[in-house]
Amino acid sequence: MNETLDDLKAKYGAGNYLEANGCRFHYARMGKGPPLLLVHGWPEFWLTWRHNLEALSQTFDVIAPDLRGFGESRSLDRPAGAALTPQQVGDDMAAFMDALSIDRAGFVSHDVGAYGVQAFARAHSDRVTAMYFFNCPHPGIGRRWADADNLPETWYQYFNQLPLAVELAGHNRETCRLYIGHFLAHWSHDPHTFDADLDHWVDNFMRPGALEGGLAWYKGVDAARRDLIRNGPPTDLRALPHRTRVLWGEFDPILPVAWMDALADIFSDLDADICPGAGHFVHYEAPEIVNAEILGFFRI
């Protein structure tokens, strides 16, 4: 018998909800020990960590929230699809931790989540023990977001801001499967990586408001991205001092490994490597490598 999304929620402790900062957050939680927050990207939700939760929960109190508007997390004080910024994600993290009485935590993040964790670390430096990123977007990318060779990959960042995106992708289950499934397959090194879970991704994004909530990120980050394209990386940005590890998928088409070159300008205590044989979703594509790395990194 195939597991349903509800089965997986029960298996991974994903039946938790709390209200904070004008949002009802849904989250998975497993294990005991020092708190470790797993912060997902797009098009993702808490289940993207399914290959990591159990292994990490043997050592840590592992908490994997759905970001505002994603999964089952919904704003209580703003309409579905309202723009979501890195600063909003950072503020949400602070309120979320407060609601769980967590003073400090380690962070593992990816994609959208990496933006949010960087914003959180700048605003709440003393609440971060260490940071572990996969394929980490960062201000040092600068004008390269609009490089001619990268434009065929970044089209969705503009399309996702149009009402048409929700209307087309959310028309029915098949259109949702085609749209979300495209990114899961194209951004993975093995295009069949997510085949077993694709129905769960469709179930998630067909929830009322889930597509709007996820696509709202692209509205919120658009002005900052355009500024980077016009003016290049900021020259006055303080490097984050926290102990940081970055593992970047060798074959990521949307965040190419060449963009690792400026990471040292963003993180002053940095250790970075390439993960061979992986694409954009390193945590999902190479969980044995990832789980061993995370356990070792945060045990120090």
Mean pLDDT within 214-225: 96
Residues 6+ away with beta carbon under 8 Å from 168: 175, 179
Query: Is the pLDDT confidence value at 146 over 50?
Result: yes
Structural domain harbouring 206: 5-299
Mean pLDDT within 223-233: 95
Mean pLDDT within 40-49: 98
> What's the pLDDT at 1?
46
pLDDT in tens, 123-144: 999 999 999 999 999 999 999 9
Identified catalytic residue from 61, 66, 111, 197? 111
Mean pLDDT within 75-80: 91
Mean pLDDT within 145-164: 95
Identified catalytic residue from 12, 115, 218, 284? 218
242 included as an active-site residue = no
280 included as an active-site residue = yes
Identified catalytic residue from 110, 200, 242, 280? 280
Residues 6+ away with beta carbon under 8 Å from 50: 8, 12, 197, 284
Residue type, 35: P
66 included as an active-site residue = no
Q: How far is Cα 67 from Cα 84, in angstroms, rounded to an integer? A: 10
Q: What is the mean pLDDT of the chain?
A: 96
Query: Is the pLDDT confidence value at 300 over 80?
Result: no
Domain count of the chain? Answer: 1
* Confidence band, pLDDT 50/70/90 cuts, at residue 283: very high
pLDDT in tens, 102-129: 999 999 999 999 999 999 999 999 999 9
